[in-house]
Amino acid sequence: MKSIIVGTAGHIDHGKTALVKALTGIDADRLVEEKRRGITIDLGFAHMSLPAADGGTLLIGFVDVPGHERFVRNMLAGVGGIDLVLLVIAADESIKPQTREHFDILQLLGVKRGITVLTKSDAVDTETLDVVRLEVEEFLRATFLESPKAPIVAVSSLTGAGLEDLKRAIVRAAADIEPRDSTALARLPIDRVFTMKGFGTVVTGTLISGTIQREDELEIFPSGRRVRVRGIQVHGQSAERAAAGQRTALNLAGATIEDIARGMTLATAGTFTATRRVDVHLRLLASAPRILKDRSRVHFHAHSMEAIGEVVFQRSNQLNPQGMSVAPGGEAFARIRLPEPVLLLPGDRFILRQFSPVITIGGGVVLDSTPLPGLKQVTVDALLQHAWAGRVPEMLGLRVARRWYRGLTIAQAVAETGLRASGIQRHLSEALAKEIVVDFGDVFLHSDTMGALTMLIPQTLAHFHEKNPLVPGMAKETLREQYTLSPEIFTAVLERLVQQKKLEVSGDLVRLPGRGVVMKDEEAESKKRIEEAFSTAGLRVPALHEVLAALKIDRARAQKIVTLLLRDRVLVKVADELVFHRSALEQLRAQVAARKSKSPVIDVAAFKDMTGVSRKYAIPLLEYLDRERVTKRVGDSRQIL
Ligand SMILES: Nc1nc2c(ncn2[C@@H]2O[C@H](COP(=O)(O)OP(=O)(O)OP(=O)(O)O)[C@@H](O)[C@H]2O)c(=O)[nH]1
Ligand SMILES: [Mg+2]
């Protein structure tokens, strides 16, 4: 069983709705106003099945669109998901303005297949029909609807003439239609929302990719609301699942009609993010009335959504070197800024309509719906070129490269491309084999980034050693934070650098090979002496400058050793030029604490008695104890805490 979506297109009153009814028996004009005025205002839907060319069944969902120029925006909301178009041209009127506009839209949307239907054949004589046929052939030359590749069929919905020919043509065309990818992540652009008695909220749309099953959890974009699929209908029949390429109605739990509107998208939950910026390739129709200037406001239509967007041309791309405008018939890479986030993915088509008066002026394809801020123009251009040329592995490689130190997670790659994780792996397999891209668990890092890191990290360490000659190494965490690396990538990069003997790791420290630890003999000796001088002195410490003066090494090196001892808290600075060994201060604390039970208060005289130090040392030591909250000053005495 194959499912396809057939859309109508063409000028007002040319017989689109009558044709759908003649084929399916269903009147797609469902609104009271449509019936009263005899015109289509909004999208209409119908369905039928035909025996397929291969003996199976062909399920056909019809999307009938309005021809009135005022309702082109409704036409646009429905035409996005179609596989085959019936371009309807009334034999008694031939080509009219919306024949052209709809046909432009079909080409801009990249619709690949179609049949031209000359309706109302009963209303004209054979000569007229032949003339119209010639006119139409001329109009369609060198397009996807060129005859005879795409047939032209004359019909009358009134008499039924030609309808069987048309059905045969549809079946033949359907055989060549590539089925949409039902294994991809699901996306359903919503074109209708309503409540149904006994069911609640129902949405409809053309499932453009993936499969939706009953009880699936889906996410509404852009709101992010999660809903559950209570029931599914495909072509008016209840079903367990809907697959890509089917007109789908879903009964949803978890949302009311106030939460949902045409233009929103239902998609696989927890996977995508909506965006306000899309990088695109756009084309301006040769018939566009004027040049499209940078920062023009336009009506932007994609799938069933529409918004007012701003076009900003990419500054330095080869397609429009001036970067400031595009002439009718021209093309360019551009960024579209949107007022509200929407869910769009690379490959999605869009239409641009002039801000005012509203006419179709162009369209194109989304190349990147997650442009990152602050990238160089060359990086942006390269990505757009690869995406535009359909070079998926290169495009993915650049997506990895532009994430620089942070790398690209598989989840991000899926969200950015709409590809499944397995597809990402497959497209990157060659780059991984050649180590152009390196894979750390769930994160991809580009070899350029790897190269930069393996060069820069040793430089950072060299700089560190130069500034801290007596420190054995740089703290790993400090180094990692400096490069904002994830723990996994950091560990892997360090491992690689260790293998290459570009650095050494010891405990929590990283250092250049042979650096940091080796203290020259004289320095090690001096360090020992300083420590000894203070540890043996207890609280009656010598003056620091005297200790240093007695050493063999010069003053600057001696001072560095003191800094190191202070950093490691072997020595503690209590006041300027007054340094104690840690053990002496610990003993003092114990002494003070032991005294508390006897007398909770101590004055300077008692302190001097207890410790045997002079007043010169007693005051700074007591102030130190106050700071350490061992004692608290009360008048001239201290309370022991
Ligand atoms: N004689 C004749 N009249 C037709 C035929 N098909 C449609 N009509 C008439 O043409 C008028 C318009 O037909 P519709 O099917 O509503 O036209 P449409 O293209 O759907 O119009 P919009 O949706 O408003 O763009 C109606 O009055 C139909 O009865 C046909 O094959 N022969
Ligand atoms: Mg109609």
How many angstroms separate the CA atoms of 117 and 264, rounded?
32
Please name which of 295, 294, 284, 280 lies closest in space to residue 324, comparing C-alpha atoms.
294
- Which pLDDT tens digit goes with each residue over 99-125? 999 999 999 999 999 999 999 999 999
Average pLDDT, the chain: 93
- Which pLDDT tens digit goes with each residue over 178-211? 988 889 999 999 999 999 888 889 999 999 999 9
CA–centroid distance, residue 121 to ligand 1 (Å): 12
pTM: 0.80
Q: Is 409 exposed, middle or buried (0-12, 13-18, 19+ CB in 10 A)?
A: middle
CA–centroid distance, residue 163 to ligand 1 (Å): 15
Please name which of 405, 331, 409 lies closest in space to residue 370, comparing C-alpha atoms.
409
Look up residue 371 and give its two tokens.
């442009």
Nearest CA to ligand 1 atom 12: 13
Q: What is residue 486's predicted lDDT score, i.e. its pLDDT?
A: 86
CA–centroid distance, residue 26 to ligand 1 (Å): 14
18 pocket-lining for ligand 1 (C-beta < 6 Å): yes
Give the distance from CA 611 to its chain's centroid: 68
158 pocket-lining for ligand 1 (C-beta < 6 Å): yes
Q: What is residue 471's predicted lDDT score, i.e. its pLDDT?
A: 79
Tally Cβ neighbours within 10 Å of residue 585. 21
77 Cβ contact list (under 8 Å, min separation 6) = 43, 191, 262, 263, 301, 303, 304, 305, 306
- Ligand 1, atom nearest to 119 Cα: 31
Nearest CA to ligand 1 atom 2: 120
Q: What is residue 469's predicted lDDT score, i.e. its pLDDT?
A: 74
Beta strands in 222-274 (DSSP E): 226-234, 237-239, 241-243, 247-253, 265-268
Spans in the chain with pLDDT lower than 70 = 316-323, 516-519
Q: What is residue 319's predicted lDDT score, i.e. its pLDDT?
A: 66
Pocket test for ligand 1, best of 11, 12, 13, 34 (most atoms within 8 A of CB): 13
Report the C-alpha dihedral over residues 140, 144, 147, 148, rounded to 10 degrees.
Answer: 180
87 pocket-lining for ligand 1 (C-beta < 6 Å): no
- Ligand 1, atom nearest to 34 Cα: 24
13 pocket-lining for ligand 1 (C-beta < 6 Å): yes
39 pocket-lining for ligand 1 (C-beta < 6 Å): yes
Element (H, E) at 105: helix 97-108
* Phi, psi (rounded to 5 degrees) for 373: -70, 155
How many angstroms separate the CA atoms of 469 and 588, rounded?
33
Tally Cβ neighbours within 10 Å of residue 608. 15
